[in-house]
A and B are shown apart, each in its own frame.
Chain A
Amino acid sequence: RKEVEQDPGPFNVPEGATVAFNCTYSNSASQSFFWYRQDCRKEPKLLMSVYSSGNEDGRFTAQLNRASQYISLLIRDSKLSDSATYLCVVSPSGGYQKVTFGTGTKLQVIP
């Protein structure tokens, strides 16, 4: 089993739709969780950290389920500019040492 698994997609959704991605991780001792966004072959950029209590940033909501070992990302009211690959990142500690990236989920928002 991969350490971090994501559905590669692509998820093709119309503008205005709500879309959700999940990411499962295998190391139950993982401490830090992040969602990054990567536009085509450019550098990844932090979208949001994922806190134990869940967190929201505008149209984006991240959740952590430790019991089932997955994190989720919900995007409401999708915009064309949300089209990108979303990377799940898991670390066994607070920070980025020994960090593991998922292979990403591709989102295409369609007009």
Chain B
Amino acid sequence: EAQVTQNPRYLITVTGKKLTVTCSQNMNHEYMSWYRQDPGLGLRQIYYSMNVEVTDKGDVPEGYKVSRKEKRNFPLILESPSPNQTSLYFCASSSFQGETDTQYFGPGTRLTVL
């Protein structure tokens, strides 16, 4: 089954404790992206990757890191989480075929930073 998986699905942590949210896709997609969703602000792009070892900043990259060492994985790293990073996070992937692309989203990770 084609899917994007994220782990963990729920996480409560404390300020400053480094964490990683994993994202994996089994569709051999070149493109992967991370978003955060906050009430009233919608989904905002954090980072995206066009392929292995190619990453770029989205609209809200501050406080986040990513890496793309393998095509299927795109982990999101919070080196020193702060309460303003409490949010719902989505990973997504797509092939790169222009206006007919479908972007597949993972189920989301609900992060609370105390």
Which residues on the B side are within 8 Å of A104 (C-beta)? 42
B residues at A contact (CB < 8 Å):
31, 33, 35, 40-45, 48, 50, 56, 58-59, 88, 90, 92, 94, 96-103, 105-108
Chain B residues in 8 Å Cβ range of A41? 88, 108
* B43 surroundings in chain A (CB, below 8 A): 44, 87, 101
Contact of A96 among B48, B59, B90 (CB under 8 A): B48
Q: Tally inter-chain residue pairs, CB-CB below 8 A.
A: 66
B98 touches A32 (CB 8 A): yes
Which one, A11-19, A45-53, A67-75, A76-84, is touching chain B? A45-53
Asked whether, in the complex, the Cβ of A96 is within 8 Å of the Cβ of B107, the reply is no
B55 to chain A, nearest CB (A): 11
Contacts A95-B101, A96-B31, A96-B48; A43 near B90 (Cβ below 8 A): yes
The residue in chain A whose Cβ has the minimal distance to the Cβ of B57 is A98
Residues in B whose Cβ lies below 8 Å from that of A51: 99
Q: What B residues does A28 contact at CB under 8 A?
A: none
Min C-beta distance of A72 to chain B, whole Å? 17
Cα A101 to Cα B40 in complex, Å, equals 12
Residue A99, interface by CB 8 Å: yes
In the bound complex, how far is the Cα of B61 from the Cα of A9, in angstroms? 29
